[in-house]
Amino acid sequence: MNNFEEKNPEVLNTDRREFTRLATGAAALLAGAIPASAKMPKVPPGIKIGVSGGQPTAENLLYLKQLGVTWVSLGASPANATAEGFIKIREEWEAGGFKVYNIGSGVGPSGSLHNMEEVTLNLPGRDKKIEEYLNYIRYLGKAGIPYSTYAHMGNGIWRSGREVLPRGYSGSTLDLSSPDAKGTWAGKTFSNPLSHGRVFTKEEIWENYTYFIKKVVPVAEEAGVRIGIHPDDPPQPLLAGVPRCIFSNFEGYKRAIEIANSPNIGVCLCCGSWLEGGKMTGAEPPEVIRYFGARKKLFKIHFRNVSAPLPHFTETMIDDGYYDMSKIMRALVEIKFDGIMIPDHVPNLGSNPATEGRVAAGRTPGEFRANPALAYLLGCMNSMLVAAGGNKG
């Protein structure tokens, strides 16, 4: 999935109280400016193979153009998470010849609006977080951004480290038996045995989701923004006292989307996260695709593979995992999927795993560097698309 950037030099120098005051005032003004019953922006038909765009530097724009990319999926920071900021982002990318499908990993004055433990677990500050999220959706609508991804995990994304795959590159891994297994999100760490001091019930988790989504639906419909809900990563039924009973399995997803009962609320199918669950999810990705695709509730695909299902998996290249990803591409062509699909959690290629994470000699941190793994994955995806009978995205 796309990670929220916690560290941002501009944010560190921002007076938090002043930022909150300005953001809250802007939210009130913009909320009143959105026309009622806004229609969702139309997107062209056909599968759109895109990327997580990164920063619109001249080098990056040129590289993505050379790769044949048209559509981009972007993140936000507290410095640009306003309607004006989103308009500027969209215009910068459009000037380079690209189209912005989504701005995800929401952020507000209080921080991340993605994987909000306050919302999932009904902790203090829940309503404040929800209101910030609703304003975030309003900003996207004002900026003409058609889509955003949301995740509903109560104690983060769980991993236990990295492992080197047989082909010699490294991938993020989770071994549930490892003492290093922990959840992380937005600068927080969640550990066993109880991440929040007690065991939550499935009924609580469902009640909290329903409370949240019933507030989101009218705002999303008014703003004309689609929201795709990301699977739990990993889709383990219970982690550190928190049930993952909604977005870790097929039946839970179906019930959740029915509760929302809106054309604006659907699915972001992260294939990697889903494959982590194996048989526990209750359905292989093609079945999920056909079900939600037929109902026009499938908005985005994260194209990723893993070495094996839980209890121990490592993220892999899409042609190097346990699942035949061409089955997923064929299902997308079959349903005439017209959303965006991106290579997800792109590993490093062309480097020694023993030195990953270090700044290469003579290279400035943050400096643009062409990503050979991204080029490789886009080539695989486009080849699968052609072989499945679709047009090259």
Considering the domain boundaries, does residue 144 fall inside one?
yes
Q: Is residue 24 part of a domain?
A: no
pLDDT for the residue 364: 53
d(CA 341, CA 303): 7
The token pair at 131 is 């209101």
Could you list the residue range(s) of the whole structural domain that residue 306 is in? 42-354+367-387
Say which residue the tokens 């000037």 belong to.
95
Q: Identify whether 359 is part of a domain.
A: no
The whole-number pLDDT of residue 31 equals 38
pLDDT tens string, the chain, 393 residues long: the values are: 444 333 333 333 333 333 333 333 334 333 333 333 457 777 888 999 999 998 999 999 999 999 999 999 999 988 899 999 999 999 999 999 999 999 987 899 999 999 999 999 999 999 999 999 999 999 999 999 999 999 999 999 999 999 999 999 999 999 999 999 999 999 999 999 999 999 999 999 999 999 999 999 999 999 999 999 999 999 999 999 999 999 999 999 999 999 999 999 999 999 999 999 999 999 999 999 999 999 999 999 999 999 999 999 999 999 999 999 999 999 999 999 999 999 999 988 887 777 665 444 444 556 678 899 999 999 999 999 999 998 764
Q: Is residue 12 part of a domain?
A: no
Residue 9 lies in a domain: no
Instruction: Please report whether residue 226 resides in a domain.
Output: yes
Number of domains in the chain: 1
Query: What does the DSSP 8-state code read for residue 33?
Result: H
**18 within domain boundaries:** no
28 backbone dihedrals φ, ψ, rounded to 5°? -65, -40
Q: Could you tell me if residue 3 is inside a domain?
A: no
Q: Give the closest residue to 107 by CA, choosing from 142, 145, 133.
A: 133
What CATH number does the domain containing 371 carry? 3.20.20.150
Q: What are residue 153's phi and psi, to 5 degrees?
A: -85, 140
Cis peptide before 347 (omega within 30 of 0): no
- Asked whether 289 and 337 are in contact (CB, 8 A), the reply is yes
Amino acid letter, residue 218:
P
Contact 89, 140 (CB under 8 A): no
* Chain CA centroid to CA 128, Å: 22
